[in-house]
């Protein structure tokens, strides 16, 4: 319950993640909260957003009346293209990803382990329909993988854990995590606090983290 009244909301998490994206970066945004990052490029910077379905220079949602159902993002939402954009096919798009040309990817997560393992595509439930999309390609190919996620599940389970119990998306891939409570880095020594959300203290975050959180 507390998680919903203290800390950052979804927009603020996206805004916080956007602060760390440098001028000129090529950035891919996952589905969900990461999609919101596109709105928060800090003043004075230019960032080029890549969507894996074939566009560099993705802009925000179109104004009413300017929608084109053939101009969408990886989440299949309507978007726009900025001046200086480029369209390309799927193999070229994933060449950008697999070939280490994208600087930063911001993804959602089910679990992140203290060694940087990421699980974000499957709960491993045998009754569920497996679906992976481009997540495994992104974590294998993009230079820096950042995650935006609630610190805990709806049931209060920690999502930052010592070891992922869900099937992995990638091994040792995550650099930084933006949650509603804190910004946390993955380091050789495990999770390390970078920044606390307003009104949140270290113990509060540690309590909701599934393993040791090193102080900033």
5 binds another protein (CB under 8 A): no
Which of 111, 120, 146, 169 touches another protein by CB under 8 A?
Answer: 169
The residues near 125 (Cβ < 8 Å, ≥ 6 apart) are: none
Q: In the complex, what is the shortest distance from the CB of residue 101 to another protein, in angstroms, rounded to a whole number?
A: 5
46 binds another protein (CB under 8 A): yes
- The 8-class DSSP code of residue 72 comes to B
Residue ranges in 91-130 that form contacts with another protein under rule CB under 8 A: 91-102, 122, 127, 129-130
List b or e across 82-100, with b for residues whose CB sees 16 or more CB atoms inside 10 angstroms.
Answer: eeeeeeeeeeebbebbeee
Nearest CA-CA partner of 56 in 98, 92, 31: 92
Fill in the per-residue mask, 9 to 28: x = in contact with another protein (CB under 8 A), - = not in contact: --------------xx-x--
Which of 41, 61, 85, 196 touches another protein by CB under 8 A?
Answer: 85
Which of 35, 52, 114, 180 touches another protein by CB under 8 A?
Answer: 52
Of 112 and 205, nearer to another protein (C-beta) is: 112
């Amino acid at each position: 319950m507390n998680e919903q009244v203290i800390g950052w909301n979804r927009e603020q998490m996206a805004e916080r993640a956007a602060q760390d994206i440098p001028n000129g970066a090529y950035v891919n945004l996952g589905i969900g909260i990461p999609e919101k990052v596109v709105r928060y490029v800090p003043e004075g910077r230019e960032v080029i957003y890549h969507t894996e379905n074939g566009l560099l220079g993705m802009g925000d949602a179109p104004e009413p009346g300017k929608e084109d159902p053939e101009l969408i993002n990886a989440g299949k939402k309507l978007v726009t293209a900025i001046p200086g954009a480029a369209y390309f096919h799927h193999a070229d798009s994933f060449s950008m990803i697999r070939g280490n040309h994208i600087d930063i990817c911001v993804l959602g997560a089910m679990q992140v382990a203290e060694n940087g393992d990421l699980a974000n595509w499957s709960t491993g439930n045998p009754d569920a329909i497996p679906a992976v999309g481009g997540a495994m390609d992104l974590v294998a190919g993009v230079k820096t993988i950042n995650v935006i996620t609630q610190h805990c599940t709806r049931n209060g389970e920690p999502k930052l854990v010592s070891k992922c119990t869900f099937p992995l998306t990638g091994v040792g891939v995550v650099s930084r995590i933006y949650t509603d409570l804190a910004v946390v880095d993955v380091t050789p020594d495990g999770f390390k606090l970078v920044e606390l959300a307003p009104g949140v203290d270290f113990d509060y975050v540690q309590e909701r983290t599934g393993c040791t959180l090193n102080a900033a």
